[in-house]
Amino acid sequence: MDTLYANARIAGTDKPQDLLVEEGRFTRIGEGLARELPAQGYDMTGIETVDLNGKLVCPPFCDTHLHLDYVFTARKPGAANESGTLFEGIQRWSDTKADLTVDEVKTRARKAVAMELRHGVQYIRSHADVTDPNLTSLKALLELREELKDVVTIQIVSFPQEGMYSYRGPHGETGAELVEEGLRMGADCVGGIPHYEACREFGERSMHTVVDLAVKYGRLIDVHCDETDDPNSRFVELLAALAHAEGIGEMTTASHTCSLGSADNSYFFHLTKLLKAARINFACAPTENLYLQGRQDTFPKRRGITRVKELTDNGINVSLGQDSMQDPWYPLGNGNMMIILDYVLHLAQMMSFAELDDALKFPTVNGATTMHLGDGYGIAEGRPANFIVLDATTPFEAVYERADVVRSVRAGCTLFTAETTVDTDLPIMRG
Ligand SMILES: [Zn+2]
Protein backbone atom coordinates (compact mmCIF):
# COMPACT_ATOMS: atom_id res chain seq x y z
CA MET A 1 0.00 0.00 0.00
CA ASP A 2 1.26 3.52 -0.80
CA THR A 3 1.65 5.58 2.34
CA LEU A 4 2.60 9.08 3.40
CA TYR A 5 4.42 8.90 6.72
CA ALA A 6 4.02 12.34 8.28
CA ASN A 7 5.92 13.99 11.13
CA ALA A 8 9.01 11.83 11.15
CA ARG A 9 12.07 12.95 13.00
CA ILE A 10 15.18 12.07 11.03
CA ALA A 11 18.62 12.46 12.58
CA GLY A 12 20.42 15.45 11.16
CA THR A 13 17.29 17.44 10.30
CA ASP A 14 15.82 20.20 12.47
CA LYS A 15 12.20 19.95 11.42
CA PRO A 16 9.83 17.00 11.06
CA GLN A 17 9.94 15.34 7.68
CA ASP A 18 7.28 13.58 5.66
CA LEU A 19 8.10 10.46 3.69
CA LEU A 20 6.06 9.40 0.68
CA VAL A 21 6.32 5.69 -0.04
CA GLU A 22 5.03 4.39 -3.36
CA GLU A 23 5.42 0.89 -4.74
CA GLY A 24 7.83 0.00 -2.00
CA ARG A 25 10.22 2.90 -2.41
CA PHE A 26 10.75 6.37 -0.97
CA THR A 27 9.56 8.70 -3.73
CA ARG A 28 9.52 12.03 -1.87
CA ILE A 29 11.09 13.10 1.40
CA GLY A 30 10.71 16.61 2.75
CA GLU A 31 9.01 19.05 5.08
CA GLY A 32 5.29 19.62 4.84
CA LEU A 33 4.57 17.11 2.05
CA ALA A 34 1.24 16.19 3.69
CA ARG A 35 0.13 19.75 3.09
CA GLU A 36 1.97 20.56 -0.12
CA LEU A 37 1.29 17.50 -2.23
CA PRO A 38 -2.52 17.91 -2.32
CA ALA A 39 -2.06 21.66 -2.86
CA GLN A 40 0.17 20.87 -5.85
CA GLY A 41 -2.56 18.66 -7.25
CA TYR A 42 -0.69 15.42 -6.56
CA ASP A 43 -3.05 12.50 -6.87
CA MET A 44 -3.39 11.21 -3.31
CA THR A 45 -5.95 8.57 -4.22
CA GLY A 46 -5.12 5.34 -2.48
CA ILE A 47 -2.38 6.91 -0.39
CA GLU A 48 -2.87 6.36 3.31
CA THR A 49 -1.43 8.89 5.76
CA VAL A 50 0.24 7.67 8.94
CA ASP A 51 1.19 10.28 11.54
CA LEU A 52 4.44 9.32 13.26
CA ASN A 53 4.02 12.10 15.86
CA GLY A 54 7.60 13.32 15.70
CA LYS A 55 9.11 9.92 16.47
CA LEU A 56 12.60 9.10 15.28
CA VAL A 57 12.87 7.29 11.96
CA CYS A 58 16.06 5.52 11.01
CA PRO A 59 17.12 2.77 8.63
CA PRO A 60 16.54 -0.76 9.97
CA PHE A 61 19.04 -2.29 12.35
CA CYS A 62 21.72 -4.61 11.02
CA ASP A 63 22.87 -7.50 13.19
CA THR A 64 26.19 -8.17 11.52
CA HIS A 65 27.22 -11.18 13.56
CA LEU A 66 24.83 -13.95 14.54
CA HIS A 67 24.82 -17.75 14.54
CA LEU A 68 21.30 -18.72 13.53
CA ASP A 69 22.17 -22.42 13.45
CA TYR A 70 23.17 -22.39 17.15
CA VAL A 71 20.24 -20.54 18.67
CA PHE A 72 18.35 -22.11 21.59
CA THR A 73 20.71 -25.06 21.99
CA ALA A 74 22.16 -23.99 25.37
CA ARG A 75 19.95 -26.36 27.36
CA LYS A 76 20.48 -29.38 25.14
CA PRO A 77 21.91 -32.29 27.16
CA GLY A 78 25.71 -32.05 27.10
CA ALA A 79 25.77 -28.47 25.82
CA ALA A 80 26.29 -26.66 29.12
CA ASN A 81 29.51 -24.64 29.06
CA GLU A 82 30.92 -24.95 32.59
CA SER A 83 34.01 -22.78 32.13
CA GLY A 84 32.29 -20.04 30.15
CA THR A 85 35.15 -20.00 27.63
CA LEU A 86 35.00 -19.77 23.86
CA PHE A 87 36.92 -23.00 23.54
CA GLU A 88 34.64 -25.05 25.76
CA GLY A 89 31.71 -23.59 23.81
CA ILE A 90 33.21 -24.95 20.58
CA GLN A 91 33.80 -28.35 22.21
CA ARG A 92 30.24 -28.53 23.57
CA TRP A 93 28.81 -27.63 20.17
CA SER A 94 31.02 -30.25 18.50
CA ASP A 95 29.91 -32.89 21.01
CA THR A 96 26.21 -32.22 20.52
CA LYS A 97 25.76 -31.28 16.85
CA ALA A 98 25.51 -34.74 15.30
CA ASP A 99 21.72 -34.92 15.52
CA LEU A 100 20.91 -31.70 13.67
CA THR A 101 18.32 -31.83 10.93
CA VAL A 102 17.43 -29.18 8.38
CA ASP A 103 13.90 -28.81 9.73
CA GLU A 104 15.03 -28.59 13.34
CA VAL A 105 17.62 -25.89 12.55
CA LYS A 106 15.07 -23.93 10.54
CA THR A 107 12.51 -24.04 13.36
CA ARG A 108 14.96 -22.60 15.87
CA ALA A 109 16.37 -20.05 13.43
CA ARG A 110 12.90 -18.84 12.47
CA LYS A 111 12.14 -18.09 16.08
CA ALA A 112 15.38 -16.13 16.42
CA VAL A 113 14.69 -14.18 13.23
CA ALA A 114 11.24 -13.27 14.53
CA MET A 115 12.80 -11.96 17.75
CA GLU A 116 15.33 -9.93 15.80
CA LEU A 117 12.62 -8.54 13.54
CA ARG A 118 10.57 -7.49 16.56
CA HIS A 119 13.54 -5.40 17.67
CA GLY A 120 13.83 -3.63 14.32
CA VAL A 121 16.48 -5.76 12.64
CA GLN A 122 15.98 -6.32 8.90
CA TYR A 123 19.53 -7.31 7.96
CA ILE A 124 21.32 -10.27 9.49
CA ARG A 125 24.69 -11.74 8.73
CA SER A 126 24.60 -15.28 10.04
CA HIS A 127 27.39 -17.79 10.17
CA ALA A 128 26.62 -21.41 9.26
CA ASP A 129 28.92 -24.08 10.63
CA VAL A 130 30.19 -26.09 7.66
CA THR A 131 32.52 -28.39 9.62
CA ASP A 132 29.86 -31.03 9.23
CA PRO A 133 30.02 -33.50 6.35
CA ASN A 134 26.27 -33.15 5.83
CA LEU A 135 26.34 -29.33 5.79
CA THR A 136 23.02 -29.41 7.63
CA SER A 137 23.24 -25.88 9.07
CA LEU A 138 24.12 -24.40 5.72
CA LYS A 139 21.30 -26.19 3.90
CA ALA A 140 18.82 -24.98 6.52
CA LEU A 141 19.96 -21.37 6.44
CA LEU A 142 20.08 -21.25 2.63
CA GLU A 143 16.44 -22.34 2.57
CA LEU A 144 15.53 -19.80 5.23
CA ARG A 145 17.37 -16.98 3.41
CA GLU A 146 15.13 -17.57 0.42
CA GLU A 147 11.89 -18.17 2.33
CA LEU A 148 12.23 -15.00 4.42
CA LYS A 149 13.80 -12.65 1.89
CA ASP A 150 10.73 -10.40 1.75
CA VAL A 151 10.97 -9.61 5.45
CA VAL A 152 14.66 -9.91 6.24
CA THR A 153 17.94 -9.89 4.32
CA ILE A 154 20.10 -12.78 5.51
CA GLN A 155 23.73 -13.08 4.48
CA ILE A 156 25.31 -16.44 5.17
CA VAL A 157 28.94 -17.08 6.01
CA SER A 158 30.42 -20.46 5.10
CA PHE A 159 32.06 -20.82 8.49
CA PRO A 160 34.44 -23.60 9.60
CA GLN A 161 33.68 -23.59 13.32
CA GLU A 162 36.19 -26.39 13.99
CA GLY A 163 38.90 -24.97 11.76
CA MET A 164 39.93 -25.05 8.11
CA TYR A 165 43.01 -27.17 8.74
CA SER A 166 42.35 -28.55 12.22
CA TYR A 167 39.07 -30.23 11.25
CA ARG A 168 38.94 -33.52 9.39
CA GLY A 169 35.64 -35.02 8.40
CA PRO A 170 34.86 -38.75 8.37
CA HIS A 171 36.07 -39.05 4.79
CA GLY A 172 39.18 -36.97 5.39
CA GLU A 173 37.65 -33.73 4.11
CA THR A 174 39.19 -30.55 5.47
CA GLY A 175 37.31 -27.59 6.82
CA ALA A 176 38.70 -25.58 3.91
CA GLU A 177 37.14 -28.00 1.42
CA LEU A 178 33.80 -27.75 3.19
CA VAL A 179 33.99 -23.94 3.21
CA GLU A 180 34.50 -24.03 -0.54
CA GLU A 181 31.60 -26.44 -0.95
CA GLY A 182 29.49 -23.97 1.05
CA LEU A 183 30.41 -21.21 -1.39
CA ARG A 184 29.46 -23.41 -4.34
CA MET A 185 26.10 -24.01 -2.65
CA GLY A 186 25.48 -20.28 -2.41
CA ALA A 187 26.91 -18.85 0.82
CA ASP A 188 27.50 -15.10 0.62
CA CYS A 189 30.72 -14.87 2.61
CA VAL A 190 33.90 -16.84 3.28
CA GLY A 191 34.58 -17.54 6.94
CA GLY A 192 37.57 -18.62 9.00
CA ILE A 193 38.71 -19.03 12.59
CA PRO A 194 42.52 -18.73 12.62
CA HIS A 195 42.98 -18.39 16.40
CA TYR A 196 41.27 -21.76 16.87
CA GLU A 197 43.52 -23.65 14.45
CA ALA A 198 45.97 -26.07 16.07
CA CYS A 199 49.00 -23.90 15.39
CA ARG A 200 49.86 -20.47 14.05
CA GLU A 201 50.90 -21.80 10.66
CA PHE A 202 47.49 -23.39 10.11
CA GLY A 203 45.87 -20.10 11.06
CA GLU A 204 48.01 -18.16 8.62
CA ARG A 205 47.37 -20.70 5.89
CA SER A 206 43.65 -20.37 6.54
CA MET A 207 43.84 -16.59 6.01
CA HIS A 208 45.45 -17.13 2.60
CA THR A 209 42.73 -19.65 1.77
CA VAL A 210 39.95 -17.28 2.87
CA VAL A 211 41.18 -14.48 0.62
CA ASP A 212 41.89 -16.84 -2.29
CA LEU A 213 38.36 -18.27 -2.07
CA ALA A 214 36.79 -14.79 -1.86
CA VAL A 215 38.60 -13.80 -5.03
CA LYS A 216 37.82 -17.08 -6.79
CA TYR A 217 34.09 -16.95 -6.05
CA GLY A 218 33.60 -13.18 -5.83
CA ARG A 219 32.25 -13.31 -2.26
CA LEU A 220 32.53 -11.20 0.87
CA ILE A 221 34.77 -12.21 3.77
CA ASP A 222 33.88 -12.47 7.45
CA VAL A 223 36.47 -14.10 9.67
CA HIS A 224 36.18 -14.91 13.36
CA CYS A 225 39.53 -13.28 13.98
CA ASP A 226 41.66 -13.18 17.12
CA GLU A 227 38.79 -13.98 19.47
CA THR A 228 41.17 -14.39 22.39
CA ASP A 229 42.85 -12.27 25.05
CA ASP A 230 46.24 -13.41 23.74
CA PRO A 231 47.90 -10.18 22.57
CA ASN A 232 50.09 -12.23 20.25
CA SER A 233 47.13 -13.46 18.23
CA ARG A 234 47.64 -11.18 15.23
CA PHE A 235 45.80 -12.76 12.34
CA VAL A 236 43.93 -9.53 11.67
CA GLU A 237 47.09 -7.97 10.25
CA LEU A 238 47.52 -10.84 7.78
CA LEU A 239 43.84 -10.78 6.82
CA ALA A 240 43.95 -7.01 6.27
CA ALA A 241 47.20 -7.14 4.31
CA LEU A 242 46.01 -9.96 2.03
CA ALA A 243 42.60 -8.36 1.44
CA HIS A 244 44.26 -5.02 0.75
CA ALA A 245 46.65 -6.60 -1.74
CA GLU A 246 43.65 -8.03 -3.63
CA GLY A 247 41.74 -4.73 -3.42
CA ILE A 248 38.89 -6.30 -1.46
CA GLY A 249 39.38 -4.64 1.93
CA GLU A 250 35.93 -3.06 1.93
CA MET A 251 34.39 -6.48 1.29
CA THR A 252 36.21 -7.91 4.30
CA THR A 253 35.18 -8.06 7.95
CA ALA A 254 37.22 -9.09 10.96
CA SER A 255 34.80 -10.22 13.67
CA HIS A 256 35.63 -10.03 17.38
CA THR A 257 39.38 -9.12 17.24
CA CYS A 258 39.38 -9.29 21.06
CA SER A 259 43.17 -9.55 21.11
CA LEU A 260 43.40 -5.88 20.12
CA GLY A 261 41.95 -5.12 23.54
CA SER A 262 45.06 -6.72 25.02
CA ALA A 263 47.70 -5.69 22.48
CA ASP A 264 50.11 -2.94 23.38
CA ASN A 265 49.70 0.53 22.01
CA SER A 266 52.83 0.61 19.87
CA TYR A 267 51.62 -2.47 17.97
CA PHE A 268 48.15 -1.01 17.50
CA PHE A 269 49.65 2.31 16.35
CA HIS A 270 51.55 0.53 13.60
CA LEU A 271 48.61 -1.71 12.67
CA THR A 272 46.28 1.29 12.34
CA LYS A 273 48.12 2.46 9.23
CA LEU A 274 47.38 -0.84 7.46
CA LEU A 275 43.76 -0.95 8.65
CA LYS A 276 43.11 2.56 7.34
CA ALA A 277 44.64 1.73 4.00
CA ALA A 278 42.88 -1.63 3.68
CA ARG A 279 39.49 -0.24 4.81
CA ILE A 280 38.38 -3.56 6.27
CA ASN A 281 35.38 -3.63 8.60
CA PHE A 282 35.18 -4.77 12.20
CA ALA A 283 32.25 -6.51 13.86
CA CYS A 284 32.08 -6.38 17.64
CA ALA A 285 29.89 -8.62 19.81
CA PRO A 286 30.21 -6.82 23.14
CA THR A 287 27.89 -8.88 25.36
CA GLU A 288 29.29 -12.17 24.09
CA ASN A 289 32.92 -11.23 24.50
CA LEU A 290 32.43 -9.53 27.84
CA TYR A 291 31.08 -12.90 28.97
CA LEU A 292 33.59 -15.21 27.24
CA GLN A 293 36.86 -13.33 27.55
CA GLY A 294 39.04 -12.64 30.56
CA ARG A 295 38.40 -16.20 31.75
CA GLN A 296 42.06 -16.87 32.45
CA ASP A 297 42.40 -13.57 34.29
CA THR A 298 41.96 -13.18 38.01
CA PHE A 299 42.15 -9.45 38.69
CA PRO A 300 42.53 -7.07 37.00
CA LYS A 301 40.14 -8.73 34.56
CA ARG A 302 40.08 -7.66 30.93
CA ARG A 303 36.92 -6.51 29.19
CA GLY A 304 37.57 -8.69 26.16
CA ILE A 305 36.29 -6.46 23.39
CA THR A 306 38.14 -4.89 20.50
CA ARG A 307 39.18 -1.22 20.39
CA VAL A 308 35.86 0.17 19.20
CA LYS A 309 36.58 3.78 20.13
CA GLU A 310 40.11 3.85 18.75
CA LEU A 311 39.10 2.15 15.48
CA THR A 312 36.17 4.54 15.12
CA ASP A 313 38.35 7.57 15.84
CA ASN A 314 40.63 6.42 13.03
CA GLY A 315 37.76 6.28 10.57
CA ILE A 316 37.63 2.47 10.53
CA ASN A 317 34.14 0.97 10.30
CA VAL A 318 32.86 -0.95 13.33
CA SER A 319 29.46 -2.65 13.43
CA LEU A 320 27.71 -4.73 16.06
CA GLY A 321 26.39 -8.24 16.53
CA GLN A 322 24.22 -10.17 18.94
CA ASP A 323 26.32 -13.25 18.10
CA SER A 324 24.40 -15.76 20.24
CA MET A 325 20.95 -16.47 21.51
CA GLN A 326 21.03 -19.14 24.20
CA ASP A 327 23.75 -21.34 22.76
CA PRO A 328 26.83 -23.05 24.26
CA TRP A 329 28.72 -19.75 24.08
CA TYR A 330 26.21 -17.40 25.71
CA PRO A 331 23.07 -18.18 27.72
CA LEU A 332 21.08 -15.00 26.96
CA GLY A 333 20.48 -12.78 23.92
CA ASN A 334 17.20 -11.59 22.41
CA GLY A 335 18.21 -9.74 19.23
CA ASN A 336 17.72 -6.28 20.73
CA MET A 337 20.45 -4.17 19.16
CA MET A 338 19.74 -1.32 21.59
CA ILE A 339 21.05 -3.54 24.38
CA ILE A 340 24.12 -4.42 22.32
CA LEU A 341 24.68 -0.73 21.61
CA ASP A 342 24.28 0.15 25.28
CA TYR A 343 26.96 -2.35 26.23
CA VAL A 344 29.45 -1.21 23.63
CA LEU A 345 29.10 2.45 24.55
CA HIS A 346 29.89 1.59 28.16
CA LEU A 347 32.67 -0.89 27.49
CA ALA A 348 34.39 1.31 24.90
CA GLN A 349 33.84 4.44 27.03
CA MET A 350 32.20 6.30 24.16
CA MET A 351 30.07 8.70 26.11
CA SER A 352 30.93 12.19 24.96
CA PHE A 353 27.76 13.90 23.80
CA ALA A 354 29.11 13.89 20.24
CA GLU A 355 29.57 10.12 20.48
CA LEU A 356 26.17 9.53 22.07
CA ASP A 357 24.37 11.70 19.50
CA ASP A 358 26.04 9.70 16.74
CA ALA A 359 25.77 6.28 18.39
CA LEU A 360 22.89 4.94 16.31
CA LYS A 361 25.30 4.67 13.40
CA PHE A 362 26.68 1.46 14.92
CA PRO A 363 23.59 -0.72 14.46
CA THR A 364 22.49 1.10 11.26
CA VAL A 365 24.84 2.59 8.67
CA ASN A 366 27.97 0.96 10.06
CA GLY A 367 26.20 -2.39 9.86
CA ALA A 368 25.17 -1.67 6.29
CA THR A 369 28.78 -0.83 5.46
CA THR A 370 29.98 -4.13 6.90
CA MET A 371 27.29 -5.99 4.96
CA HIS A 372 28.21 -4.07 1.80
CA LEU A 373 24.55 -3.13 1.22
CA GLY A 374 25.35 -0.06 -0.90
CA ASP A 375 22.44 1.96 -2.31
CA GLY A 376 19.92 -0.65 -1.22
CA TYR A 377 20.06 0.79 2.29
CA GLY A 378 19.20 4.15 3.82
CA ILE A 379 16.49 6.76 3.91
CA ALA A 380 16.71 8.56 0.58
CA GLU A 381 14.48 9.09 -2.42
CA GLY A 382 14.59 6.17 -4.82
CA ARG A 383 15.74 3.64 -2.24
CA PRO A 384 13.66 0.74 -0.90
CA ALA A 385 11.28 1.97 1.81
CA ASN A 386 12.88 -0.01 4.62
CA PHE A 387 12.87 1.80 7.96
CA ILE A 388 12.07 1.60 11.63
CA VAL A 389 10.44 4.04 14.04
CA LEU A 390 11.90 4.34 17.52
CA ASP A 391 9.97 5.41 20.60
CA ALA A 392 12.09 8.55 20.97
CA THR A 393 12.36 11.98 19.40
CA THR A 394 16.15 12.31 19.22
CA PRO A 395 19.06 9.89 18.82
CA PHE A 396 20.25 10.83 22.31
CA GLU A 397 16.88 9.98 23.83
CA ALA A 398 16.81 6.71 21.89
CA VAL A 399 20.17 5.78 23.39
CA TYR A 400 19.53 6.71 27.00
CA GLU A 401 16.05 5.18 26.96
CA ARG A 402 17.26 2.09 25.05
CA ALA A 403 14.17 2.93 23.01
CA ASP A 404 11.74 0.33 21.76
CA VAL A 405 11.06 -0.06 18.07
CA VAL A 406 7.40 0.87 17.55
CA ARG A 407 7.14 0.23 13.82
CA SER A 408 9.14 -1.61 11.18
CA VAL A 409 8.49 -1.14 7.48
CA ARG A 410 9.99 -3.23 4.70
CA ALA A 411 9.54 -2.33 1.02
CA GLY A 412 6.59 -0.19 2.06
CA CYS A 413 4.88 -3.01 3.97
CA THR A 414 4.45 -2.80 7.73
CA LEU A 415 6.08 -5.76 9.46
CA PHE A 416 4.69 -4.75 12.85
CA THR A 417 3.69 -1.80 14.97
CA ALA A 418 3.69 -1.31 18.73
CA GLU A 419 0.14 -2.68 18.76
CA THR A 420 0.88 -5.87 16.82
CA THR A 421 3.27 -8.75 17.24
CA VAL A 422 5.56 -10.61 14.93
CA ASP A 423 4.26 -14.07 14.21
CA THR A 424 6.90 -16.75 14.40
CA ASP A 425 5.25 -18.37 11.39
CA LEU A 426 7.03 -16.07 8.99
CA PRO A 427 6.50 -14.67 6.38
CA ILE A 428 4.35 -12.42 8.45
CA MET A 429 1.80 -9.65 8.28
CA ARG A 430 2.04 -7.70 5.07
CA GLY A 431 0.92 -4.07 5.07
ZN1 LIG B 1 30.59 -15.78 16.08
Same domain, 153 and 131: yes
pLDDT at 425: 46
Residue 226 Cα, ligand 1 centroid: separation in angstroms? 11
Same domain, 149 and 262: yes
- Between vectors from CA 214 to CA 213 and to CA 215, what angle results, nearest 5°? 90
315: left (phi over 0), alpha (psi -120 to 50) or beta: left
Strand, helix or coil for residue 358: coil
Within-domain flag for 424: no
Within-domain flag for 425: no
* Cα distance between residue 250 and residue 248, in whole Å: 6
Same domain, 303 and 351: yes
Q: Which of 355, 375, 395 is the last residue of a domain?
A: 375
Residue 287 Cα, ligand 1 centroid: separation in angstroms? 12
CB 339 within 8 A of CB 321: no
Same domain, 239 and 99: yes
Residue 274 Cα, ligand 1 centroid: separation in angstroms? 24
Same domain, 206 and 313: yes
pLDDT at 199: 97
Can you list the alpha helix ranges (DSSP code H) found in 80-223? 86-96, 102-118, 136-147, 175-185, 200-217
Q: Which of 227, 250, 381, 419 is flagged as catalytic?
A: 227
Residue 90 Cα, ligand 1 centroid: separation in angstroms? 11
Within-domain flag for 427: no
Residue 399 Cα, ligand 1 centroid: separation in angstroms? 25
Residue 171 CB partners (closer than 8 Å, separation 6+): 133
pLDDT at 422: 63
Give me the average pLDDT of each 10-residue run along the chain (431 residues).
Answer: 95 92 97 94 94 97 98 95 95 95 97 96 98 98 97 98 97 98 98 98 98 98 98 98 98 98 97 98 98 96 97 98 98 98 98 98 98 97 98 97 97 90 48 32
CATH number for the domain that contains residue 44:
2.30.40.10
* Cα distance between residue 28 and residue 38, in whole Å: 13
Residue 268 Cα, ligand 1 centroid: separation in angstroms? 23
Within-domain flag for 426: no
CB 276 within 8 A of CB 315: yes
CATH number for the domain that contains residue 269:
3.20.20.140
pLDDT at 430: 36
* Cα distance between residue 371 and residue 283, in whole Å: 10
Same domain, 125 and 152: yes
Tally: H helices and E strands in the chain: 14, 16
Same domain, 225 and 185: yes
DSSP state for residue 323 in the 8-state scheme: B
Residue 280 Cα, ligand 1 centroid: separation in angstroms? 18
Same domain, 37 and 110: no
Neighbours of 93 (CB within 10 A): 23
Q: Order across the sheet with 318-320: list the strands.
A: 61-66, 121-129, 153-159, 189-190, 220-225, 252-256, 281-284, 318-320
397 is catalytic: no
Burial class (CB in 10 A: 0-12, 13-18, 19+), 74: buried
CB 243 within 8 A of CB 221: yes
Same domain, 318 and 217: yes
Same domain, 127 and 8: no
Which residues are 62's β-sheet partners?
123
Residue 323 Cα, ligand 1 centroid: separation in angstroms? 5
Residue 288 Cα, ligand 1 centroid: separation in angstroms? 9
CB 69 within 8 A of CB 34: no
Residue 159 Cα, ligand 1 centroid: separation in angstroms? 9
Q: Which of 375, 390, 409 is the last residue of a domain?
A: 375
Nearest one of 398, 410, 391, 336 to 63, comparing CA atoms: 336
Give, for 272, the enclosing helix (H) or strand (E): helix 265-278
CA atoms within 13 A on the CB side of 159: 26
* Cα distance between residue 409 and residue 302, in whole Å: 40
Provide the domain limits for residue 390.
3-58+378-417
Residue 224 Cα, ligand 1 centroid: separation in angstroms? 6
Nearest one of 117, 193, 114, 203 to 158, comparing CA atoms: 193
Which residues are 413's β-sheet partners?
410
